[in-house]
Amino acid sequence: MLMALLKKTGRTISSLKQTLPETGSEDIDILPNGLAFISSGLKYPGIKSPAPDKPGEIFLMDLNEDNPRAVELRISRGFDLASFNPHGISTYVDKDDNVYLFVVNHPHQKSTVELFKFVEDDNSLVHLKTIRHDLLTSVNDVVAMGPDSFYATNDHYFCDFILMFLEMFLGLNWSNVVYYSPKEVKEVAAGFYSANGINISPDRRYIYVADAFDHNVHVMEKHANWNLTHVKTLQLDTLVDNLSIDPHTGDIWIGCHPNGMKLFYSDPENLPASEVLRIQNILSEEPTVTRVYTDNGSVLQGSSVASVYEGKLLIGTVFHRALYCEL
């Protein structure tokens, strides 16, 4: 394992212009044209939800606007909105510029992946299908590989909350990564303590996996048969959540939890803090890790993702608001 060179630069954001949904913004994915999809309203075992009876939502934000605002996307009829509990998300744009949105969903504390087609003209999502499989047991995040295929992380081996807690307490490395397509479903990487965020390098050669409670990011090489092999592990000093990739530089942006246990305690006197890291040149001998943003919870609680577009930064959270920033 390689230890990162951490630059403790503190807050370097020039302005905080707008707060977004108050029911969480657990994951964010930004299209090349600046349209940002935001998942909101996650109910996760052990973490208090600010709106436990409100279904989850997907928001859209156009970062090309001078003062962008989050707009809720309408979801087509026939989809069970009442039990919608969105978690990680990923987009795929095909050769005809059709946009597909993959959403990890936890209806009734189960795990599915919902596939939508984005209709920009009326800000809506058309539900195409619900994906279930015995290997998709406790899905946290996905990264799209095609219009109906993806890699997914299972953050726990067990689905039952008590067994999940026991798994974490015992330090069992039973978490994994699964590849899914209509023709083939298989485990492609294993041995993680808590596989969380997942993403792909701009050249599509490497898959990055955040192991939240092991405080590290794994680099995996992707092969023609979709199997993954371990390349290196970058050790950090914080709990790493979702990973976003700058398509121009290949830099990895991560929403992090300096003290993850605070997420599980609803204590207004001891709020969960927020932190954003930027990793440059992760394949080099000495990657550069910069702490771009820190907050003690007074502004932003429990940061889970950070995504960039043309000098703008969106920071999302598990259950709190999101921040729109200019770098």
For residue 25, CA distances in Å to 90, 185, 211 come to 14, 29, 20
296 is in an annotated binding site: no
27 is in an annotated binding site: yes
- 190 is written with which tokens? 């294993």
- 11 is written with which tokens? 């807050």
DSSP 107: G
Give dist(CA 202, CA 199) in Å, integer.
10
187 is in an annotated binding site: no
> Cα–Cα–Cα angle for 61, 197, 100, nearest 5°?
45
231 neighbors 216 (Cβ within 8 angstroms): no
281 is in an annotated binding site: no
196 is in an annotated binding site: yes
80 is in an annotated binding site: no
214 is in an annotated binding site: no
Query: Which residues touch 218 (CB under 8 Å, ≥6 apart)?
Result: 189, 192, 208, 209, 210, 211, 230, 232, 233, 234
176 is in an annotated binding site: no
- 253 is written with which tokens? 């942006």
Set 87, 106, 127, 156: catalytic member = 87
Active site residue 87: yes
Annotated binding site: 26-27, 89, 140-141, 196, 241-242
Annotated binding site for Ca(2+): 26-27, 89, 140-141, 196, 241-242
Q: Please list the active-site residues.
A: 87
